[in-house]
Every structure is written in structure tokens, then in C-alpha cells.
Chains A and B, each alone.
Chain A
Amino acid sequence: MSSTDGTAPPDRPTDRSTGPKLDLGPVGHLGDRLFAGLARGSGGLVVAIVAFVGIFLLALAIPALADNNSSFLFSRIWEPGGETPRFGIAALFYTTLVSSIIAMVIAVPIAVGVALFTTYYSPKRLAAPVSHAIDLLAAVPSIIYGLWAIIFFAPILRPVIDGLSSALGWLPLFEKPATDNLGVVFTASVVLAIMILPVVTAISREIFAQTPITHREGALALGATRWEMIRMAVLPYGRSGVVSASMLGLGRALGETVAVLIILSVPNGNDPWDSSIFAGGETFASKIANNAAEFDSPEKTGAYIAAGLVLFVVTFLVNSAARLIVARSGPGNRRPRRNRRAGTNPAQTEGAAT
């Protein structure tokens, strides 16, 4: 703080003396260079941190993977350490992905609904409280979600699970398990949905609110109802934003640790694998957290780190996919946003955005 405060003032008087009518700021001066350096530094720092984490994971995982006597990607056995370490991530991968996808299926429609409600439907005095309430959900620590879910929420969810499994039980995904277990993947998914709701809602809300008024009024002027206006003007405009918001939420769902750890029952290694969402399971993050206290040998640690590496890669792929979707969602949908932002200097913002 002090550095820029100390350097900026000497520039300003000279600027003002030359011409107060057009304040371009201290072009080419120390402030500008400092800011450019800061921006570049921040960008570089982020890349460096990501690279550092990746290298750390790789360095610890490779020796363990080399000793692995089981297919790392396709086995569901998890016996790292010992003389013949055997571990595979198939079950972890499945549970992580399935729980996150179900969470998305539940959360995204609700989030879009809430965002549309607060921006276009609700009266002004209701919009702010609803938004604040949703934002408040983001402030609850995940361990609270976990405890709340397993003590209070899971028994409430029981009838839903029973109903779904009796209606759709013929699908392996919805098969009813033998025991009356509360800590199932479905419960975890619903809680994950609640946890990612605020992120997706907040970003969607901002995007929807930015739909150019000309688009909206144009649609209404052509005789569109409010729903038609939203369908024709707001949703197409906000699509890429909602996709990015969802991917941000998905990233959180994939990596959520403590809540999932508390909720999910872990299947024992002897029973045959159960693909049902009404059975227990373990995600990458919950497995690592659950066993972190007993990392007593480098090989064992490496096995868990390797699992963490897969989560890292999955999250990376998810984000890349999101970027691809946003990029492909059609230039017609992006141009308004770009024009709006680029109002003053199109060339510069283009460059900065990429």
C-alpha cells in the first residue's frame, strides 16, 4: 500500500497542470509500471502455485505408483503400504463424480430459478433478503453442513430415498441397498447441492441482471410475455455465465471434504461393489482426509497423493470443459457482453480477456 501511495502523488500534479480536462492518468510513469508489474506478478504467481501443487503431487505419487501391484485406474482395492501395495481409484472416481453430478442436477435449476426470481420476478423489497439468505448459505462451514446432514437432515431424506428406490429401483443406480443406512451418496449429493447453491446463484444473478435493457425491452415491445422475454433475451445472454457458475460449483462439489466425510458411510472391502446412489462410498477428498492421520510410510502417503493427483486432473479437465463450452456457446451470445465491456477501448479489453 505504502509504495504506491508514496510514488503516485508526485505524478499527479504534473498531470493536472498540463490539462485537467482529460485525465489519462500517469501514462508511462511509475504508477503504471508498478500496476503492470503487479498484474503480471499476480498472474504469474497463480500459474506458479498451480504448477507447484502439480509438481508436488507428481513427485510424491510417482514412487508409490511405480510400486503399485494393481491397476491404478481400474481397481477398487485400496491397500496401500505394506509389502505388496495394491490400490486403485475406480470406486473413488465413481463416487466423486456421481455425487457431484447429482448435486449439479439438483442445484443448477434451483440456482437459476432463484437468480431469475430475484432479478425479474420478486418485488424489490423481497429480492435483497432472498439474495442475502442464499449468500449466507456460503458462509456456513462445511463441517456444520456435515453434522447437520447426518444428525438432522438424513433421517428427513429417508422417505425420499425409499420413494425413489421403489419407483426406480430397477435401475442399478437407484437400487435399494440391504441395510437401513443413512450415510448414502444421495444424501451427500443433496447436501453438496445446498453447498454449491450460493455460488451458482450469485454468479447467475449477476449475469442475468446485466442483460442489456434494450434486449429485454425489445422482446417485450414485440409482444413477449415475461417468461418469453426471459427465454429469448435473458437466458441466451446468460448461458455462458451460468455454465461458468455451474463449473465453479462443480469444482467445489468435487473437492468438498469434511461434509462428505461425515455423511458418507464407507463400504467394507468384502462386499461386492454397489453402484447404487443409495449405498455408501468414498470420494477422493473424503478418503484422503479420513486417513491423513495414519500416513506412516512414504509409499502409503504416495498412494493417497496419487488419488489427490487424479482429483486435481479431474478438476482441471472440468474447468477446461467449462471454458470450451463457454467459448462454443456461440458468438451471438457473447458479443453483447464484449461490446458492453469494450465500450471505451475494444482492442485493449480483447487482449486482456484472452
Chain B
Amino acid sequence: MSVNRLLRVGTVAVASLGVLALSACGSDPESSANPGSTSSSSGGDCPKGTLNAEGSSAQKNAIEEVISKYNEKCTDVTVNYNPTGSGAGIKQFNASQVDFAGSDSALKTESKDGGEAEAAAAAKRCQGSPALNLPMVIGPVAIAYNVDGLDKLVVDGATAAKIFQGTIKTWNDPAIVKLNPGAKLPTAPIAVFFRSDESGTTENFTKYLEAAGGGAWTGKPAKKWTGTGAGKEKSAGVAEGVKSTKNSITYVEWSYAVDNKLGVAQVDTGAGPVELSAESAGKALAAAKPAGTGSDLALKLDYATKAPGAYPIILVTYEIACSKGLPAEKTALVKSFLTYFASADGQSSLADLKYAPLPEETRTKVDAAIQAIS
């Protein structure tokens, strides 16, 4: 290799480094492409600008659908949603990097590690006004299974808890047989799959197992799985695991179970087996109690609900937004988009994606809270 060629390669490398450094300095992370927009608009009108949001991956498909529908109406608004996870979304929101966040759980009012509580940090970001937890998307969690010849499976809270705890080890366990009279259950061991990443789905599912398991679930509800089984990465991983492993079971968002053509168990809440549908999931939300006060709509789900026809394992994803304190043009954007999201029109598009629309009563409350944003 000649010295000349080396020299040339070296200079190219250095020159390109320099260009990189320059461009890194030049780009401004704060999006400045925000033309003077209508600050006085009410929620119904279309403002102009870019809205950045980040958070829960559980509502990714829902919010993307709503964004595309919204853009048919309001062509001048760009809404970006980055599905990085609830924790990351809240962190970015509290650091003023995004305009609203999506989260699988309401902002925590108590701090976990001695640091600042999420709600307090969010209020600071909103110039002292509290941040709102707006329940927006109901994502039912399916108990999905893969057993040859088993078209219908019924479980109740205690049985589910024991299966996922590892105390029921085989498919022909008397407890399962009792709930499924006449079903062809194999003698094989049950292969349980769980989410190996920390996940709101796991948190909600373990809340259900604790509430409805009658003491069979020994762990505390948490984002990190404490039961038995083999861990797979994200929803796609557990769905793929069940699909490729006979006699397996997992908990996963409904859409993944349907997309992978997995069996979805019916859940016996004590009022008979309930099939998972948009309607049955909506009924469970209607049975939920508000956890917050005033316009804070954080919900306390009743996982042990015995309401007839209610499918109890649901995950409510919230949009976290400032009640006050955003710049006027951002407020208009947030308000306009969320108003559409909470409208009957916006919600109705979700059922096809295997989410459940908000029940009308909840929807009106959410809408009222959004209209109060200023």
C-alpha cells in the first residue's frame, strides 16, 4: 500500500469526522419548525405544527391508527409517537423532551427509590400544574395458548395464578379438567412463557393474578415477572415462543394472540366464562373506580370483578399531558389531537386493531378533562 493512498484514506476519514462534528453542532434538538400557529383555537379546529410523544408500546398500534385518521382531518399537524416504553416516555415527558407521554400506568405519586416521584416531577415540568392521566386505550390482555386440538379453554383466577406460578404443571391437572369438562387435554407439561423485559403488561397481568388468584399468586404485582416459565423479549417474543412451542401458554396483548393465531382462553370470573371481546373488556373498565380526584382520571381497575360479561384482564394505557403550563401553540396541538383521540370517531377505529374502545361514560369524562386543558 502506497503512502499516498494511506494519506488519502486518512484525510478522508478525518474530513468526514470533521463534517460529522460540524453537523452535530449545527442541528438543533429542539424542533424549531413550529410556525406561528393559532393559539386561541378550541380543540375542534386544526392548529399547525408538530407534536412529539413517546411512551408505552402497548398503545403503539392504537395511536398510530388514530394519528393517521387524525391527519385525514388535520393535515397540517405532524404527530410523532415513539413507542419506547412507559418508563422512557414518562422520563422524556418530565424532561420536557416530548409534549405528552403514553403510559401503561398512571403517574406514580410515591417515589420508588428515594428519588422524585413521577407525579411531582411531571408537575414541575408543567410549570406547577398537575399532569393529567387520561385513560385512552383499553388493551385487553389475552391468556394465549398453543395446544393441539384444544379450541376452547376456560381458566379462572386461581387456576391461572397456579399455572403461571408453576404449581399446576401439566395440562391434565384436575383443576383445569374441572373447568373444561369434556375437553381433550394433553398429559404434557405446561410450558409457560413470560415477558423477560419489564413490562406494563406483566404488571397488569400479575395484578389480576393477585386479585383473582385467591392467594395462589405469591409474588407482588410488578413490571418484572416473578412466576415460573421461560422469558422472551417483548410481546412479539412471547407470542412467537407460544406459536413455536407445543403445549405452551402465555399472557400477551390480544392483537398479538390473534395475529399469531393462538388460542385465547376464556376467563371465568365467578359469573361464568367470559370470552375476550371489545365489549367484554369495555365492561371491565366500566366497573373500574377512579383512583384520583377531580379531573385526574387515573383508574383503579377491579381485577376481581364479578360483573356479568366483563373480561377482567385489561390494561389501560394513559396519555400523560399537562393540565396547564405548556406553551400556547403546544397546548392547542395537544388539545386538538387528544380531543380527536377521545372522540367517538377516534375510539371506534380501535376495535379492529383488537383494542377496546372506551365505554361512553368514561369517554365523556376524558373528553371533559381534555377540554379543561389550558
Q: Fill in one digit per residue for B153-175: 1 if any A CB lies within 8 Å of its CB, else 0.
A: 00000000000001000000000
How far, in whole Å, are A178 and B188 apart by their CA atoms in the complex?
A: 11
Query: What is the bound-complex CA distance between A183 and B223, given in angstroms?
Result: 22
Closest B residue, CB atoms, query A289: B233
Residues of A within 8 A of B223 (CB): 294
**Residues of chain B contacted by A261 (CB below 8 angstroms):** 233
With both beta carbons as reference points, the residue of chain A lying nearest to B83 in the complex is identified as A293
Stretch of A99-107, A268-276, A326-334 on the interface side: A268-276
User: Is there contact, CB below 8 Å, between B229 and A290?
Assistant: no
Contact at A293–B84, with CB atoms within 8 Å? Answer: yes
Shortest A105–chain B CB gap in Å is 25
Contact B113 A293 (CB under 8 A): no
C-alpha gap A266/B237 in the complex (Å): 11
In the complex, the answer to whether B14 meets A81 with C-beta atoms within 8 Å is no
Q: Give min CB distance, B30 to chain A, whole Å.
A: 23
Cβ-based interface call for A38 (8 A): yes
Stretch at the interface among A128-136, A295-303, A308-316: A295-303
When C-beta atoms are compared, the residue in chain B nearest to A182 turns out to be B244
Q: Is the beta-carbon distance between B198 and A294 smaller than 8 angstroms?
A: yes
Q: Beyond A42-B10, A266-B230, A297-B112, is A291–B244 a contact (Cβ under 8 Å)?
A: no
Q: Which residues of B contact A181 (CB under 8 A)?
A: 191, 230, 245
Distance A178 CA – B189 CA, assembled complex (angstroms) = 9
Instruction: Report the separation of the CA atoms of residues A86 and B26 in the bound assembly, to the nearest whole angstrom.
Output: 43
Contact present for A262 and B197 (CB under 8 Å): no
Q: Are A296 and B91 in contact (CB under 8 A)?
A: yes
A4 at the A/B interface (Cβ < 8 Å)?
Answer: yes
Please name all residues of chain A whose beta carbon is closer than 8 Å to the beta carbon of B193 when the two chains form the complex: 265
Q: A290-B196, A291-B197 are in contact. Are A35 and B10 (CB under 8 A)?
A: yes
Q: A266-B230, A280-B230, A290-B197 are in contact. Are A82 and B244 (CB under 8 A)?
A: no
What residues of chain A lie closer than 8 Å to B35, measured between beta carbons?
Answer: none
Question: Which residue of chain A is the closest to B230 with respect to CB atoms?
Answer: A265
Tell me the residues in window 174-202 of chain B with beta carbons closer than 8 Å to chain A beta carbons. 189, 191, 193-194, 196-198
- The contact string, 1 if C-beta is below 8 Å from chain A, for chain B 34-77, is 00000000000000000000000000000000000000000000
Could you tell me if A270 and B166 are in contact, using CB atoms closer than 8 angstroms?
Answer: yes
The interface bits of chain B over 15-44 (1 if a CB of A lies within 8 angstroms of the residue's CB, else 0) are: 100000000000000000000000000000
Task: Determine the distance from Cα of A178 to Cα of B192 in the docked complex, in whole angstroms.
Answer: 12
Identify which of B88, B228, B231 contacts A294 (C-beta below 8 A): B88
Tell me if B273 is interfacial: C-beta within 8 Å of chain A. no
Whether a CB of chain A sits under 8 angstroms from the CB of B102 is no
Complex interface: chain B residues within 8 A of A182 (CB): 241, 244-245
Q: Is B364 an interface residue (CB 8 A)?
A: no
Considering the complex, which residues of chain A in the window 206-257 have a beta carbon less than 8 Å from any beta carbon of chain B?
none
A178-B189, A294-B88 as given contacts; A38 in contact with B10, CB under 8 Å: yes
CA distance A291 to B225 in the complex (A): 13
Name A1-16 residues within 8 Å CB distance of B: 1-4
A183-B226 in contact given A39-B10, A299-B113 (Cβ < 8 Å) = no
With both beta carbons as reference points, the residue of chain A lying nearest to B118 in the complex is identified as A296
**9-residue interface stretch from A108-116, A148-156, A162-170, A196-204:** A148-156
B189 to A: closest C-beta gap in Å? 7
**Given A268-B227, A290-B233, A293-B88, are A151 and B244 also a contact pair (CB < 8 Å)?**
yes
> Is the beta-carbon distance between A291 and B7 smaller than 8 angstroms?
no
The number of residues on chain B lying at the interface, defined by a beta carbon within 8 Å of a beta carbon of chain A, is 45
> Quick check: is B12 within 8 A (CB to CB) of the other chain?
yes
Q: How far is the CA of A291 from the CA of B112 in the complex (A)?
A: 17
Most buried by B among A150, A179, A295: A179
Q: Which residue of A has the minimal Cβ distance to B15?
A: A1
The listed residue (A1, A42, A179) touching B191 by CB distance below 8 A is: A179
A267 at the B interface (CB under 8 A): yes
* Contact across chains for A268 and B194 when beta carbons are under 8 A apart: yes
Which of B14, B229, B233, B237 interacts with A268 by CB under 8 Å? B229
* Interface positions of A from 37 to 85, Cβ below 8 Å from B: 38-39, 41-42, 79, 81-83
Distance in angstroms between the alpha carbons of A262 and B240 in the assembled complex? 10
- B166 x A151 contact (CB < 8 A): no
Does any Cβ of A come within 8 Å of B87's Cβ? yes
Taking CB atoms, residues of chain A closer than 8 Å to B246 are 180
Residues of the B chain whose Cβ atoms lie less than 8 Å from the Cβ of A25: 3
Report chain B residues within 8 Å CB of A31.
Answer: 7
Given A290-B197, A294-B85, A300-B113, A266 and B232 contact (CB-CB distance below 8 Å):
yes
Q: Which residue of B is nearest A299, CB measured?
A: B113
Nearest-neighbour CB distance to chain A for B166, whole angstroms, equals 7
Chain B 210-247: CB-based contact to A (< 8 A → 1; otherwise 0): 00000000000001111111111100010011001111
- State the CA gap A10–B131 with chains docked (Å): 67
Bound-state CA distance A132–B85 (Å) is 40
Give the residue name and chain of the B residue nearest to A8 (CB).
B7
Report Cα–Cα, A79/B245, bound state, in Å.
29
Residue ID in chain B nearest A262 by CB atoms: B233
The verdict on A293 contacting B228 (CB below 8 Å), with A82-B112, A270-B166 known, is no
Question: A4–B7 contact, CB under 8 A?
Answer: yes
With A150-B240, A150-B244, A290-B196 as given contacts, are A268 and B228 in contact (CB-CB < 8 Å)? yes
How distant is the Cα of A35 from the Cα of B223 in the complex, in angstroms?
Answer: 55
Residues of A within 8 A of B198 (CB): 291, 293-294
Residue of B nearest to A38 (CB): B10
B96 within 8 A of A: no
- Is B11 part of the binding interface, using a Cβ–Cβ cutoff of 8 Å? yes
Report the bound CA distance from A265 to B244 in whole Å.
13
The answer to whether B231 touches A270, judged by C-beta atoms less than 8 angstroms apart, is no
Residues of A within 8 Å of B294, CB to CB, are: none
CB pair A154–B88 under 8 Å, yes or no, is no
Query: For residue B89, which residue of chain A has the nearest CB?
Result: A293
Q: Is the CB of B191 within 8 A of A180?
A: yes
Across the A-B interface, give the 10 residue pairs with the lowest CB-CB distance, nearest first: A266-B231, A293-B85, A266-B196, A265-B230, A294-B198, A297-B113, A296-B87, A294-B87, A1-B11, A1-B15
Selected A-B contacts with CB under 8 Å, 29 pairs: A1-B12, A1-B15, A3-B11, A4-B7, A4-B11, A25-B3, A41-B14, A42-B10, A42-B14, A82-B113, A150-B244, A179-B189, A179-B191, A179-B245, A182-B244, A265-B232, A265-B241, A266-B196, A267-B230, A268-B225, A270-B228, A290-B233, A294-B87, A294-B88, A294-B198, A296-B87, A296-B90, A297-B112, A300-B113
Given contacts A265-B230, A269-B226, A297-B112, 6 further A-B contacts (CB under 8 A): A82-B113, A151-B244, A179-B245, A265-B231, A266-B196, A293-B87
